[in-house]
Amino acid sequence: MATNFLSTAIFLPSSSASSSSSPSSQLATTPTCGFYPIKCTVKRQLALCRSVNQQAPHSSLPLLTKRSLSFTFLTSFVLSLSGKGFSDADAAILEADDDEELLEKVKRDRKKRLEKQGVINSSTKETGYLQEVVYNLSKVGQAIENNDLSTAGSVLGGSTNTDWVQKANIAFDKLSSSPEEKTEVDSFNSSLASLISSVAGNDVESSKLAFVSSASAFEKWTSLTGLVVKLKGL
């Protein structure tokens, strides 16, 4: 029993003990020496280590998680603001480009109108040719309405080679600039040829239809060119 006890105890020597003491006296003083159970001490150290190891993750993980979430949220918020700023800037640039392009188009259209008006104002002779077309179409229309195709034929002439038709085409060529205007000129000449043929064939119904087509094409052309305000009787 004494051997087992010694193996599990740590003796602390007494300062009052002398080297000359007898073995019996040394044994007598042994119970008064302090000792620390080794097994208990190891268990305590292991328990403390487990406690530290278990507490460390619980105390640090929430802190790291909150920091990560805060940083992520802040980064996303800043990037969203930056993206919105860039988007607004891009939209402003596009709007500026559109406004500038629209302004340029307005300037070009205004320039074309002024140039066209200048040509019309300087084309007194051609305007007179076109005024004659208005008068002749008015006479032909009244004659056809009264079923008087002979009078309509005398005004129209026997073909599109008559003087007033040739002069009208001179004015058309000078004053037509856009594809739409040239298309109406072609439509007028085609309808006029049908009108002359229908009147010569004494076909009242076809003459009426051809006259409406001719007059409509001429009116559209004058509207496109701006001559509608220059000509009387339209």
The domain locations on the chain are 1-10+19-56, 72-122, 123-229
Give residue-wise pLDDT tens across range 28-37: 444 444 444 4
DSSP letters along 30-62, please? GGGS----HHHHHHHHHHHHHHHHHHHHHHHHH
C-alpha span between 141 and 134 (Å, rounded): 11
The pLDDT assigned to 108 comes to 75
CATH of domain 123-229: 1.20.120
How many CB atoms within 10 Å of residue 65?
10
Sign for the pseudo-dihedral over CA of 9, 11, 12, 15 = positive
Residues 148-169, mean pLDDT to the nearest whole number: 95
Looking at residue 233, its pLDDT comes to 87
CA distance 98 to 146: 57
Q: Which residue has the higher pLDDT, 122 or 183?
A: 183
Asked if 131 and 164 touch (Cβ cutoff 8 Å), the reply is no
C-alpha span between 211 and 136 (Å, rounded): 12
Q: What is the mean pLDDT of the chain?
A: 74
Sign of CA dihedral 72, 77, 79, 80: positive
Task: Give the pTM.
Answer: 0.55
Render pLDDT for 80-95 as a digit per residue (tens, 0 to 9): 555 555 556 666 666 6
**pLDDT tens digits along 90-115:** 666 666 667 788 887 787 777 777 76
Confidence of residue 56 (pLDDT cuts 50, 70, 90): very low
> What CA–CA distance (Å, rounded) separates 77 from 128?
74
